[in-house]
Chain A
Amino acid sequence: DAGVIQSPRHEVTEMGQEVTLRCKPISGHDYLFWYRQTMMRGLELLIYFNNNVPIDDSGMPEDRFSAKMPNASFSTLKIQPSEPRDSAVYFCASSPSGTSPYEQYFGPGTRLTVT
């Protein structure tokens, strides 16, 4: 299996621009997670989906952030408009259901820089 795929790996944009991050989970995994990692706040869960349905978006920082999962093999995280404080590494992870305890498989991350 190719693992979790994220694109782009690096994104540099100017404040006010729209940013779209993409994720392809591992085939057959029912859960998809979006995390943000910064030096100041560590690893934060933003939102997660089960069978393409958002289950918990309490970690989404504000209305500028939105996430979708139109099908089992694709998810997007959008920031509009972007701000310098959104600069971070954004990780997508997926995991299977059925057995416990669950292991999350992380993608390589997208490093976002907003200038």
Chain B
Amino acid sequence: GDSVTQMEGPVTLSEEAFLTINCTYTATGYPSLFWYVQYPGEGLQLLLKATKADDKGSNKGFEATYRKETTSFHLEKGSVQVSDSAVYFCALAYSGGYQKVTFGTGTKLQVIP
């Protein structure tokens, strides 16, 4: 079956540091890939997405590239801010009628001033 594996957290960084959160996936087909973010006390919200191999998703300074050859979708940001402190979830889903999203376990990011 499909699965998503994320690096263990928490990840603690100083403000303006470079961020990488690793995500790899196992899929039986050709899914779309997502990063969701959950701020404290809130529900998840979509951060970025990529629908096919070599696509790059980007939003709010975050980027992730769909790498089919390494089955990866690592999240990166060049300079993190305290406001980026949150839990980040990697996920996959398939186009078509079946709506189920497979989420990773989440990686908590703490950014220190």
Chain A residues packing against B (C-beta within 8 Å): 4, 31, 33, 42-43, 45, 48, 50, 55-56, 91, 93, 95, 97, 100-109
Once A31-B99, A45-B100 are accepted as A-B contacts, the answer to whether A103 and B44 lie under 8 Å apart by CB is no
Once A31-B99, A101-B34, A101-B93 are accepted as A-B contacts, the answer to whether A108 and B43 lie under 8 Å apart by CB is yes
Name, among A42, A97, A107, A108, the residue most crowded by chain B CB atoms within 10 Å (CB to CB): A42
Q: Is B61 an interface position by the 8 A CB rule?
A: no
Tally B residues with Cβ within 8 Å of A.
21
Q: Is the interface of B mostly helix, strand, loop or mixed?
A: loop
**Are B99 and A50 neighbours in the complex by a CB distance under 8 Å?**
yes
11 A-B residue pairs with CB within 8 Å? A31-B99, A33-B99, A42-B103, A43-B105, A50-B99, A102-B93, A102-B99, A104-B101, A105-B45, A107-B43, A108-B43
**Are A91 and B43 neighbours in the complex by a CB distance under 8 Å?**
yes
Once A50-B99, A100-B96, A106-B44 are accepted as A-B contacts, the answer to whether A43 and B89 lie under 8 Å apart by CB is yes
Once A42-B106, A101-B93 are accepted as A-B contacts, the answer to whether A93 and B46 lie under 8 Å apart by CB is no
Chain B residues packing against A (C-beta within 8 Å): 32, 34, 41-46, 49, 51, 89, 93, 95-96, 99-101, 103-106
**Are A103 and B49 neighbours in the complex by a CB distance under 8 Å?**
yes
Chain B nearest CB: distance from A47 CB in Å?
Answer: 11
